[in-house]
Each structure stands twice: as structure tokens, then as C-alpha cells.
Amino acid sequence: MAMTLGELAEQLTTGGLRHHVDAEEQAIRVVFVTRCYVNPRGERLAILRLEATDGGNSFRVTLPRAFAAGSAVASTCLALCEAVADVPLARVEPDATTGTLQLVAELPLEDGSVTPRQVFAVLDAIVEAAEAGQSVIAAISPSGGGEAREAA
């Protein structure tokens, strides 16, 4: 049984988390206030995108445009991968269409569904990865992370 976007939204509602369902994009957005992560607009907010992918057989959470890749894409990506390595479920992916690096977590569901506890664990992992990544970006960027704001 594949999971639908509606079922995913229901899990968020059950967990008491405010969210926005974008039926046109087939995605759900959730906003978290962060301690040190700064998004491309210069706000201490992580705007996560949730999707039921692979025909509902996978659950994917991304933080699109999380960090600017800068001119040294490979070394920036490697530094972020090292920072995020200790965060379960989270990984860094380059996005060639935007020239940025995004954070991603994906769970295969196969014939099952995702529980509210699993949803919140994945959301927490992405936010934690963003916090860890921000300290790396601040250390390697001459503007202290301001380069990420220029990518938006």
C-alpha cells in the first residue's frame, strides 16, 4: 500500500505540527526556527519540503537550497558531508539546477506507511544537519555564511 500526501499530512496533524500542503507541487512544507542555521534569505528558519516519492513507496524530506556551493563546490560539499556524517538519516546533495547544496533524508516504505515518530525523526535529522552545516559554512566562507544568502 503506497503512502499518499494526504496520509503524510495527517501524520503531521496528529503530531500537532503546523504545515502547508501544496497540492500543485505535491509537497508539504514545514517551517522550523533554528538556533544558528541561516537560510538563503538571512532568516533563522529551515523550510523543509516533504514528499511521498516513488509512487508513495518512499518518504523524502529536503531542505532545498540549504547552502551556497560557492566557487569550490567539491570542497564545500565534502566539508558539509563530513559535518553531517554524524546525523542519522541526513545527507548532502548538490543541486545542479540551482547551484546550491541541499539536505536530504529518505525512507523507503515499500508496502508500509510511515509513523508519526518516523516523520518527526526525519524532520529533526534535517534540522540538526542544517545546524551542523551552518558552522562549517561559517568557518569556510569569508562572509561567515553570508554567501548562502546570495544563492537565493
Task: Give DSSP secondary structure letters for the chain.
Answer: -PPPHHHHHHHHHHTT---EEETTTTEEEEEEE-SS---TTS-SEEEEEEEEEGGGTEEEEEEEEEEE--S-HHHHHHHHHHHHTTSTT-EEEEETTTTEEEEEEEEE-TTS---HHHHHHHHHHHHHHHHHHHHHHHHH-TTTTHHHHHT-
The per-residue pLDDT for range 69-119, each reduced to its tens digit, is 888 888 899 999 999 999 999 999 999 899 899 999 998 887 777 888 889
Task: Give the residue with greater pLDDT, 84 vs 147.
Answer: 84
Q: What is the mean pLDDT of residues 113-129?
A: 91
pLDDT at residue 53 tops 60? yes
Q: State pTM to two decimals.
A: 0.88
pLDDT at residue 60 tops 60? yes
